[in-house]
Structure 1
């Protein structure tokens, strides 16, 4: 085989290698163009010059925010926004099937921010936790950071190159700026947890204990019915210490001046009939 034939074969092999590499390369802008609800995310990836960094990777997972959710960070300074978005780009492939295989445990995921060499204190890592079947949450892996983002679904799944997962809330590590808290659950999404049952002892004690209103009424009754110091009876002699002073003896004048007890009605009636009988007897004798 001549030199020209060898060079020809090498050029053909290089062409097909380049073709296969090009076909395997990512194009995140094109991939997201079929999903208009992520148009704001696609635009911000272009503005922060992260599109090229994504397209040069062979394997990427993007934690995607829809147009409504991404508004909470879209107005931040470009450098800060770039750091936040880099923290949503995972340097590995994770789809829902792979997450389910994790079991009920956590995994620490490396993000594109780690390629800057600026990640400290777990900044640039994301905590993925499967808290229940079908319920997965994400958050910054920084110590004490809350798991604010809930996995809502899968947008794109191209094993093992590109996975786009829909999450509910931006993940903002403490060093990237003010965190975004998870929104409250919509009304009627989950019933509130039942109140703990009270034990018999606690229920009986609570039943016997008066309410604040009853205590107030009882206090009012005490204030109303309790005698004033002037109306209160004098203490009995037994309660006082020492001997009580002797009572003064009544004099004869006091005895004479004292009134005799008034006769009762029955005694007056007997006296009346007695006088009436005497008068009748005198009349008979005189007759």
Structure 2
């Protein structure tokens, strides 16, 4: 693990200057931390603000950047204005990352940073991630993936470096809460976002609220499903979710699993003659 950390540092020495596409997740936070440790003021972190990012997560990104010490800037992206994104096709993430890197690349050039780097790790390469291709097409680099650093190693290295957010749950953009083909709107993003914030305030951290039509499907970690039912005032929960605009509130008995919405792609492929 420490050998890979040395390789990561060496990669930034080679780059000399870098702009980090910084979402505030643990992957890009580690990249920002190492970039700053190696490059100092020759590294900058930039976060894209859009309706698919919770204000609470944006604030976390600010706090983490301040903890690292890296210069942090926020830019606006407008992926929802692209019907190829808003219609939520199976390659939605391609259009999201296209918007992101079409925004960051000119800024990097303007500010004098020859490289835009992201937080894609080695495990991400084995999942369906069309956004990775969009980033590559625009010249972005993925230091963690280049060196072969996995998600588990990201957390271990972050803990070793003293990052207080080393065990932060993964928090992909809110658009990932909707099944492919269901149109994404600002109102729907805000509704699902407020529902997740409600659950976080109850003490549940690694959760998802999947939204399909007027139905909310709550996912907690598999070993917490029974605990959730026992400890939660379900009638109050239902009332809170209905006040946000959901008609029906359900609990996924399988529990949370990363990339769960992608299983429909494999199901469709298996049924294709």
Q: Provide the TM-score with structure 1 as the length reference.
A: 0.24
Structure with the larger helix share = 2
Q: Provide the TM-score with structure 2 as the length reference.
A: 0.25
Name which one, 1 or 2, has greater alpha-carbon Rg: 1
Higher relative contact order (CA 8 A, sep 6+): 2
